[in-house]
Structure 1
Amino acid sequence: MKDDFVRLAEENDSLFSFSYENVEKLTEVCVCFYRKLLLRKSFSDFSERRSQLAKYVRKFHGDAGTLTPRIGEAIKNLENDSCLLLMTAHQPNLFPYSGVLRKATLNHVLAKKLSESLEVPVVSFFGVADQDFTDDRWVKSALLPDVDRRDGLLELRFDMPERLVLNRVAKPSRIILNNWRNEIENWIDRKLSSIKRDCASLELQFSYNADHTESFKNFWALVEKAYEQAETYSDFNAFIISRIINDVWGYDTLFSRFSECQKLFEREYSHLLKRFDKYSRYVKEATEFNPNSNRGVYKDELNTLPFWYHCSCGSKAKLKVEQRDVSIIGKGSCIRCGKEYLFDFISKHEPQISGITSSISARSLSMPLVFFHGLGICCYVGGIGGTEYLKQAQFVANHLNMIFPPVVVWRPQDVYLGVGQLDALMVYRKLSGTFDFSQYERIKDILQRKIKEAQREIEEIEEQKKQLFAASKRSREEQIQNLKSLSIRQNEVRRDANFSVLVRNLRLLENVDAVMGLHPCIVDYVVNVGLKETSEQWIAFLQSNGNLCSNIGLRSRFDRPAHNFLDEN
């Protein structure tokens, strides 16, 4: 007889695609899952684990300075046997892009709808993946739109040693922190000056108030508080995220570091080891679903233990499995220092891992397995980058009869006019003669054809140079004179076609497109939309529209001055 959760997944394609038409549909599926979970398990089965989690949650918020009365109440609800628990997780990225924070907004709105529908306490949990590696670009890089920069991006960056886990890296120096602030303030000034200058040259009106200055000042005060509270780079970023979500937005979202709360799942890890033969087989089948995908786990995951072992050097060891009679062996070396490890878990029927529980952490595929099953999660808000991992994990969970809740990925494009976007539009206006962005491809095609025509002439002359070298009958003086003439002709072609300007204009045009399509870091929202206003508009969209597949139009503080001239053109 099929398990209820496998049957539920088969009845609802969204559980595999992680796509829902709207919040109402997502709410319905979560209600259904919650009721089926109650039929299978009493929520008291999760109470011990949740009570332990509550201690780590309280510790995080105490460290971050966000242990508000609302957080205290949510912690009490977490320990309530009837509590419905929602979850999301992410690495503690530098000034994270909107998608990281938007996860908490969706869970916040969903929690209210579920609480009203089921009349039970609903808690949102945000796991901080502070044991991920430093190699990922987004944990050390934040992007702002800047049409004048390479690829249309201003990058705020923190360089770290590779192959370390994030919580082993010290927070940035005061010099680096001040440099980031100066870069951002300089970016704001440059963009506004450029917009005003271009408007003046086109005889367009552009005036604005200074709300963005106060908004950024308040945000940076938040950054400074997080900096004072933190010792590590991961905490610095996580505290910023918590202060935005808990203090500025007022959500009762509960945070915990993975490095602390993953110690709770000894039973789940043991469960996977006991059934490692089946786990390995289903991992293999899961990776074969989409063999050409460069996302998700690789095929060799089937021979890997479902957890990392943490080395004293600050990195991790990937443990390969060896089975000897009834024993299961984990063997591997640290990917940074090379130190070798070998663990004998005695018996695969009753594996002994209590001695290393404090030094292990879940791998990408096993993280949802242990958290969902151990805590009784009823919905998980994932990210676009983790979709393939989650699909693979869902396949394994269903075949191992483990809890796997509805998963949703919400990644719209926020459409608004900020200083970076407006500056890019002014550049587009100068290049195309219009603000009509639907003409972009036509303008780009014209530029590319002009460049191609000039390049063809230049290359033809270059070929003549080669032929001249090959002709041995001419005297050296005559060859040199002819080469000079051909070089002069090449320069004339470049000058007549305005070649360098064409190339620069094409680069700028491509940068315009990059700016308009960018998912920028939260600083862009602070300056242009307002931090609190961003949350308010996301919530309003979810409550009034609720479409999880469409883009979102946001009001910015530059809408009115921009539309003064955009509407006229």
Structure 2
Amino acid sequence: MTIDEFVSRIAGRRRLNPRQQGNLNRILAISDRFSRDAGIPQSEPEQIGADTIVLESGHQPNFLPFPGVWRKAFLLDRIRKRLQERGHDTIAVFGFADQNQSTASLLAANQIPAFKKGGRERIGFAIREKDRWRRFDAIPKPDPEDWQAEISKIEAHYIEHAQRARLDPAATKARLGAILEVLRQSHERAENFPDANAFFFARISAEAFGLDVRFFRYSDLQQAGIFAEETNELRSHREGYVRHYNAAIAERSLNIPPVRTDHVPLWYHCACGGKVALATGDEGTSEGTCPACGTPATLDNISLPALEAHYGRIGLSAVARNIVFAEGLGTSLFLSGAGGGLQYGQIADRISRELGLPVPETLAWPARDCYLGAVQRIALLDLIKTFDLESREVADGLLAEKIEETRAALRQEIARLKETGENRKRLKQYEGRLKDSATRTAIVAGIFAAHPSIADLFACMDPDRIIAAWDDAATRADFRREGDFCIMHAPILYDNGGFQQIEPRDLPQVCRHLASLEAAA
């Protein structure tokens, strides 16, 4: 189905009850505070009613994340606009999971393509080992000098490669510099590390991409006690939650470990910043020990007053978050990631159905970003020169075959020279060429196989070109029902930036061919 046919399925899915309307109004006030903190102009006030359609997504606030995270906000905005054009009051909200454990390296670091082993270079920062079990909102932001040094490093990387690719380094500096200035300002306004990342994401969404989405932090919802009633309701069904959780994993062969029978779908937030996994204890209590400082934690018996007393220190597990937010917001559409998010979504939807809770429509867009930035241009031209390729051979699938022919000829000549014992200097030259060809091929494959930070995309094209490519893909997309979810199928066709040897429509295929060389190298 088309995007318009998909949008038609969203309208009228749910009506909001008074509690859901109240939750949304409180979240809008929290979103206004986030916008002030981030330095984003205030949105026009929305009127929430029973017929308001709620579109929701979220992500952990990563450092300079992949373009795919921004596409969730993009789809929220575009679907909201289509619904409003049809006369439906619609609100799009995006939450930052700023209280996740600090174990994921992407919270503080990412990667960009580079001419080194693996075809990529790390950017960002490292969270200290002793802090990995603490909540991300308990991690301080890096020192200003270190933040600026990382910005300068990224900028220098792209200016150098723009020169090597014979692109305009001044244009690259201006384009990327404007984005990195927002990153600098976001750090300046932030109180902690996740705020620096979240402010940057929200400001780029609003200012560079022009998206009208309401952003908020999960920590603010927790401190305000929003969803305490929904959380308590889910906690009262703990045994059924565990049973259906594990049944969903077994029936669908999901790559997620089952939970123990005493599992409680909540975290307790220790005063040291650690996140405490909870299990049932004696007389209905929930208990655990902080992995960061070793302090024991106990929650009282199941009751709403007891939970509300602790709610400022309560966090939801990934699956519980889906269930509680869908019920507390009255969500009609949830924009999911295409990886682990869909697996957790299958578990959450199974539990919700079994417990008689409504299940929102879920949409995911598993697209790759295929384009020719400065590093990719240099890599492709180097490969063409090394193996004496024609541009058509890069696009039509003959690339691996042609490379292997060249390397086979080198191996054959090396064998002949070894057998005859003649011209040892020539033998060393051919052995060097063979080794160099393998190294170059592996680096090129790594460059095109990588999922780089959005910094790489901003270095080679303006935000309006990015949005135009996403709009084009959304218009062409085939929205297919796959199991419980709807999956959006559409390659993103960025323009070729003047690289005449490759047509834009061929870029996805070219990138696949180049990335697949890794195994053959």
Give the structure-1-normalised TM-score: 0.79
Deviation of residue 440 (structure 1)? 2.7
Deviation of residue 171 (structure 1)? 1.3
Task: Work out whether residues 170 and 232 of structure 1, in 8 Å CA contact, stay in contact via their aligned partners in 2.
Answer: yes
Deviation of residue 195 (structure 1)? 2.8
Q: Percent of aligned positions with the same letter in both sequences?
A: 22
State the match for 2:144 in structure 1. 174
Deviation of residue 545 (structure 1)? 5.2
Deviation of residue 446 (structure 1)? 4.4
CA RMSD after TM alignment: 3.0
Q: Which of 34, 37, 40 is the aligned partner of 1:63?
A: 37
CA distance in 2, matches of 1:285, 1:453: 57
Task: Work out whether residues 333 and 362 of structure 2, in 8 Å CA contact, stay in contact via their aligned partners in 1.
Answer: yes
Deviation of residue 82 (structure 1)? 2.6
State the match for 1:227 in structure 2. 187
Alpha carbons of structure 1 residues 45 and 494: separation in structure 2 relative to 1, 3 Å: farther
SS at match of 1:289: helix
Q: Does 1:72 align with 2:44?
A: yes
Higher RCO (CA-CA < 8 Å; seq separation 6+): 1
Q: Does 1:44 align with 2:18?
A: yes
State the match for 1:529 in structure 2. 461
Q: What amino acid does structure 1 have at the position aligned with 2:182? A: L
State the match for 2:163 in structure 1. 193
Alpha carbons of structure 1 residues 443 and 329: separation in structure 2 relative to 1, 3 Å: farther
State the match for 2:518 in structure 1. none
CA distance in 2, matches of 1:96, 1:346: 39
CA distance in 2, matches of 1:49, 1:124: 14
State the match for 1:4 in structure 2. none
Question: Aligned ranges for residues 75-86 of structure 1 at < 5 Å?
Answer: 76-77=46-47, 79-86=48-55
SS at match of 1:103: helix
State the match for 1:563 in structure 2. 500
State the match for 2:240 in structure 1. 278
Q: What amino acid does structure 2 have at the position aligned with 1:563? A: Q
State the match for 1:474 in structure 2. none
What per-residue deviation string (whole Å, max 9, x for no partner) do you get for residues 333-385 of structure 1?
112222111223156xx783111111011101111000001110110111123
Q: What amino acid does structure 1 have at the position aligned with 2:4? A: E
Alpha carbons of structure 1 residues 90 and 406: separation in structure 2 relative to 1, 3 Å: same
State the match for 1:368 in structure 2. 322
Q: Does 1:313 align with 2:272?
A: yes
Task: Work out whether residues 100 and 135 of structure 2, in 8 Å CA contact, stay in contact via their aligned partners in 1.
Answer: yes
State the match for 2:447 in structure 1. 515
Gaps of 5+ in 1: 1-20, 197-206, 462-488
SS at match of 1:377: coil
More displaced 10-residue stretch of structure 1: 269-278 or 386-395: 269-278
What per-residue deviation string (whole Å, max 9, x for no partner) do you get for residues 141-197 of structure 1?
222122x1121112202111222211111112222222222222222233233334x
Deviation of residue 546 (structure 1)? 6.2
What per-residue deviation string (whole Å, max 9, x for no partner) do you get for residues 43-73 of structure 1?
43411211221221111111001133xx133
Alpha carbons of structure 1 residues 455 and 338: separation in structure 2 relative to 1, 3 Å: farther
What per-residue deviation string (whole Å, max 9, x for no partner) do you get for residues 82-136 of structure 1?
321101100111111101101011111111112233x221111010010112211
Gaps of 5+ in 2: 480-487, 505-521
State the match for 1:424 in structure 2. 379
CA distance in 2, matches of 1:550, 1:541: 6
Q: Does 1:132 align with 2:100?
A: yes
State the match for 1:90 in structure 2. 59
SS at match of 2:227: helix
SS at match of 1:319: strand
CA distance in 2, matches of 1:442, 1:259: 54
State the match for 1:504 in structure 2. 436
Alpha carbons of structure 1 residues 306 and 439: separation in structure 2 relative to 1, 3 Å: same
State the match for 1:144 in structure 2. 112
More displaced 10-residue stretch of structure 1: 211-220 or 419-428: 211-220
Give the structure-2-normalised TM-score: 0.85
Deviation of residue 535 (structure 1)? 2.0
What per-residue deviation string (whole Å, max 9, x for no partner) do you get for residues 387-443 of structure 1?
111111111111111122011111212222211210110121122211332333214
CA distance in 2, matches of 1:129, 1:217: 28
